[in-house]
Amino acid sequence: MSRLSSPRFSSSVATRAVGTAVALLLSSITFAPALWAADPTVLTGIVTAPGGEKMGGVAVSAKAVGATITTTVFTDEAGAYYFPALPPGKYRVWAQALGFETANGEAGLKTGARADFTLKKIEDTERLIRQLPGDLILAGLPEETADDMRMKRIVHNNCTSCHTPSYFLQHRFDEAGWHAIIEAMKSINVYGVYRPNQHNPVLDFHQDALAKYLAKTRGPNGGAFKITSRPRPSGEAARAVIKEYDVPLNPDQQLPSATPPNNGSDWTKVTTTRAGSLPHDAAPDLDGNLWFAAVAPNKTMSVGRIDGKTGALKPIRIDAANGNAANVHGLIRDGEGTIWFNAWMPKGGLAKVDPKTEKVSVYMPPEGMSHIDGPVTLDYDSKGGIWAGTNDGALRFDPLAEKFTEFKSVNPRGLNGAIGQTYGIVGDKDGNGYWSQMAFDTIVKANLATGETTELKLPPVKDELARATDADNKFYATYGPREIGTPFPWSQGPRRMGIDRERGIIWVANSWSGTLGRVDAKTLQTTLIPLPNTFTNQPYAAIPDKNQNVWTPLWTTDQIAKYDSKAGIWTMFDLPTRGTEVRIPALLERGDNVEVVFAYARSSKIAVLSVRSDADMAAAKAQAQ
């Protein structure tokens, strides 16, 4: 094992003012951190429908002019919203809800600042569709016939492997146009890399039927798409506060603009492109600063550190052999507060950064051992070991001994050339590791004491097995998935995982079946728990907090789900950006407060979600009066 060290691196809107709160705009936009506590201000207002009805669950966002932080709250059942304390300054403020035009305004913050909005309904059908998040796009696909159902599943499993359905289905094409789209996507892998000599066999087999289905659904003359809706946030979900931190676009990529013309903040501007977006995984350090993995090739940073108070970004670079910064995919904070991440040099290694000193250390597995590679996830165990995925299993790193131990999957390869890369990974309190093979619907356990590995096989989705035609069965009998984004129609898709170490419970996000797997770490006994909608809710990860709530990003739409495992209750939190593609969440738990941190892989932001208590809301209302 070799060890490397590197030094630190550096529409129609009705907006009115009460008194002079909006009219008097402060000229200085300097936000010293001390002002946050010294001069707290609360922005409040009412949101109504065109007929004057109060609208609950409306997202209201505020961003200071020239700043990089957006704060979003939601209206209560009386249509009122209350921001937490914000620094003084001139703010853009906007309100939006599905089915309505975005309402824009300005506010100059001082005690008692107020901005009221009246939302106007969207009348144009195409604008309604283009405003929809991914889950409602999937819900609108036709399913009148058995063939419709089969093609709808192919869209769900194979056309959303690298992007939300709201991105490609915001467009309309005729059958020839959809053929061209599918032809291109057959050769683009889950990382967005075009490979002209490698085709997705599933899309190849279904291409003709899929192009007909998509042309029927989203063709030039409208189509069979059905606009559906869901309730706006209420109760706990309406008490959420979401802070979004802008991450600059890749400075080393040729782009039309250094800043995105559409960053997803206005839902009527449709789902944005992913071009130039840097972040993948994100985690907070113990001081509340935000760290993220820079997954796109660039020369500037391997990981980034965002000041949680000011939003200032500091890049940290590890030199790769090709002259670029080392690429990073997985990133965590361990139990001691250290930030760990993988680093493609281009060989895959393990790295850490001390958040206090910003000293970076890189550790490379010895020759003859698998490198840390594939869709890398990291985790730690209670004995201090760091676990990382490889293409055929996992490595455990002992930070004290600076030693890697290798564990192989029971079946790293399958029939017909199938490849079972490791995806999600966790470590338990006894030092054992567990990982998912997403393409194989398998969970593998590595016993630290014996070195042995065993596996758990998840059952196929029965309805999809029964729906397959004779021609489908003949094709799939010769097929083996070679990467995570080309599954069978009946795949579960175990993606990233989380663990309750004290209780010995592993939580697995099954992306294709829309379920969470609850796995007993000792016995591997498994229960599948359905999300509220098993088709439109596609979980990316499942991370439990100390109160046995499981936080689950729905990566093909713009929501975070919370599952109360004691009560069996789901709460769905809407995100204020369209086209998030949220990755794994990380938690910062201090006292009774829980902050959920995650990256928007498409729209290049890091977000922090917290939930105010009833007492917090009462205090905010009192301060606003």
Q: 151-176, pLDDT tens digit by residue?
A: 999 999 999 877 899 999 999 999 99
**Do the strands 117-118 and 44-48 form a parallel or antiparallel pair, or are they unpaired?**
parallel
Task: Report if residue 615 sits inside a domain.
Answer: yes
Query: Is the CB of residue 610 less than 8 Å from the CB of residue 595?
Result: yes
pTM of the complete model: 0.92
Q: What is the mean pLDDT of the segment spanning 395-403? A: 98
Is 605 part of a structural domain of the chain?
A: yes
Q: Do the Cβ atoms of 277 and 604 come closer than 8 Å?
A: yes
pLDDT at residue 8, rounded to an integer: 30
Residue 247 forms part of a structural domain = no
| pLDDT score of 189 more than 60 | yes
**Structural domain boundaries enclosing 500:** 493-619
pLDDT in tens, 147-156: 999 999 999 9
Tell whether 516 is covered by a domain. yes
What was the pLDDT predicted at 191?
63
Per-state percent for the chain, helix, strand, coil, to nearest 5:
15, 35, 50
Q: If you average pLDDT over residues 442-455, what whole number do you get?
A: 98
Is 519 a domain residue? Answer: yes
Q: 262, 283, 258: which is closest to 577 by C-alpha?
A: 262
pLDDT at 193 over 90: no
pLDDT band for 484, please (50, 70, 90 cuts). Answer: confident
pLDDT of 542 over the 70 cut = yes
What share of the chain has pLDDT > 70, as a percent? Answer: 93
In a domain, 544, yes or no: yes
Identify the residue whose tokens are 């000011």.
310
Asked whether residue 27 carries a pLDDT value surpassing 80, the answer given is no
pLDDT at residue 35 tops 60: no
For 221-260, what is each residue's pLDDT tens digit? 878 999 999 999 999 999 999 999 999 999 999 998 888 8
The domain tally of the chain equals 1
Burial of 486 (0-12, 13-18, 19+ CB in 10 A): buried
Q: What is the pLDDT of residue 346?
A: 86
Q: How far apart are CA 532 and CA 572, in angstroms?
A: 9
- pLDDT confidence of residue 12: 30
Note whether residue 580 is domain-resident.
yes
Average pLDDT over all residues of the chain = 91
Q: What is the pLDDT of residues 415-439, one digit of tens each?
A: 999 999 999 999 999 999 999 999 9
Q: Is residue 450 part of a domain?
A: no
- Domain with residue 596: its CATH number is 2.130.10.10
